[in-house]
């Protein structure tokens, strides 16, 4: 029996190790490439360890693409705005679906979920015409305002989490003279730390990696995002593999830092939102 358990555990760890190598392999190759010289990237057979190590790719990146710091700052600004806005608007709407009493509540929630099935490409032309008419084209407003008006996906996540909180807390608040706003701001939100952090992470990552929206609605290079900036790097310096790898690493770094620093809350929020 002990031998069988040991064998099963060995197979499990071996399977996990193989999976780890498959998923971490591209990341290791990316880091290796950005630390190489241009000549080393064309050596055959390729070598994983650079010889010598060099950071010249980052120097060439910021010298060639002078707007790179601005693109990074733009992406951070828009991603943080969307993350905070998502928490505020989506949680408020989700509170209405989860904690208030209304005959139309379930039907309205079905309508909200139905909007998830509408591809973004379907609304692209009407949104482009609308934003152009009202003077929002080539600004950050098309990237932020639609997100700040709440997102069905995040409404669903917040609602599912709010349903896991005991109803007795609402009744105790009513007894103390509180209303819906008191329940939302002083009872529900303080107990919803994991899903708030998860919602912020999801929104931040979606905005940071969004390539389609800034490509369509922003024309000025000074207002562009990091995702579009990477494509500009590839277009102008397609032969400089270390420099492209350095740009990709800079785009990946914030996501990795945010995810690993809040991994505990991220997992808890996603798990708890699916309990009911």
Give CA torsion, residues 194, 195, 201, 203, to 10 deg.
-170
Residue 119 covered by a domain: yes
114 assigned to some structural domain: yes
CATH (domain of 184): 1.10.3720.10
14 assigned to some structural domain: no
Residue 168 has pLDDT above 70, yes or no: yes
Domain membership flag for residue 164: yes
For residue 42, the model assigns a pLDDT of 74
Domain count, the chain: 1
Residues 145 and 159: their CA atoms lie apart, in Å, by 22
Give residue 265's domain range.
Answer: 67-272
Instruction: Output the CA torsion 231→232→235→236 (10° steps).
Output: -150
Question: What are 227-275's pLDDT values in tens digits?
Answer: 888 887 777 766 777 888 888 888 888 888 887 777 766 565 555 544 4
pLDDT, tens digit, 9 for 90 and up, residues 66-103: 888 888 899 999 999 998 988 889 888 888 888 887 78
Residue 253 counted as domain residue: yes
Range of weakest confidence among 11-15, 131-135, 202-206? 11-15
Q: For the chain, first and last CA: distance in Å? A: 38
User: Rounded to whole angstroms, how far apart are CA atoms 240 and 226?
Assistant: 18
For residue 161, being part of any structural domain is answered with yes
Q: Is residue 34 part of a domain?
A: no
What is the pLDDT, as a whole number, of residue 275?
A: 46
Using only C-alpha atoms, the chain has a radius of gyration, in whole angstroms, of 24
Arithmetic mean of pLDDT, 187-192: 85
Q: Is residue 54 part of a domain?
A: no
């Amino acid at each position: 029996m002990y031998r069988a358990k040991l064998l099963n555990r060995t197979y499990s760890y071996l399977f996990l190790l193989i999976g780890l190598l498959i998923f971490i392999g591209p990341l290791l190759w990316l880091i290796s490439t950005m630390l190489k010289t241009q000549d080393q990237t064309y050596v055959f057979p390729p070598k994983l360890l650079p010889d010598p190590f060099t950071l010249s790719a980052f120097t060439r990146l910021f010298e060639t693409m002078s707007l790179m710091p601005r693109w990074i700052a733009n992406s951070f600004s828009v991603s943080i705005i969307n993350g905070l806005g998502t928490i505020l608007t989506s949680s408020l709407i989700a509170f209405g679906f989860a904690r208030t009493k209304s005959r139309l509540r379930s039907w309205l929630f079905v309508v909200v979920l139905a909007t998830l099935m509408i591809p973004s490409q379907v609304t692209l032309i009407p949104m482009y015409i609308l934003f152009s008419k009202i003077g929002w084209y080539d600004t950050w407003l098309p990237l932020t305002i639609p997100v700040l008006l709440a997102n069905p996906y995040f409404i669903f996540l917040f609602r599912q989490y709010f349903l896991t909180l005991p109803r007795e807390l609402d009744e105790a608040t009513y007894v103390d003279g509180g209303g819906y706003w008191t329940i939302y701001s002083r009872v529900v939100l303080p107990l919803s730390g994991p899903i708030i952090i998860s919602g912020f992470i999801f929104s931040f990552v979606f905005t940071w990696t969004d390539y389609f929206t800034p490509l369509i609605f922003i024309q000025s290079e000074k207002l562009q995002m990091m995702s579009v900036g990477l494509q500009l790097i590839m277009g102008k310096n397609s032969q400089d593999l270390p420099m492209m790898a350095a740009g990709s690493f800079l785009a990946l770094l914030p996501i990795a830092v945010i995810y690993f620093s809040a991994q505990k809350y991220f997992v808890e929020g996603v798990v708890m939102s699916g309990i009911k």
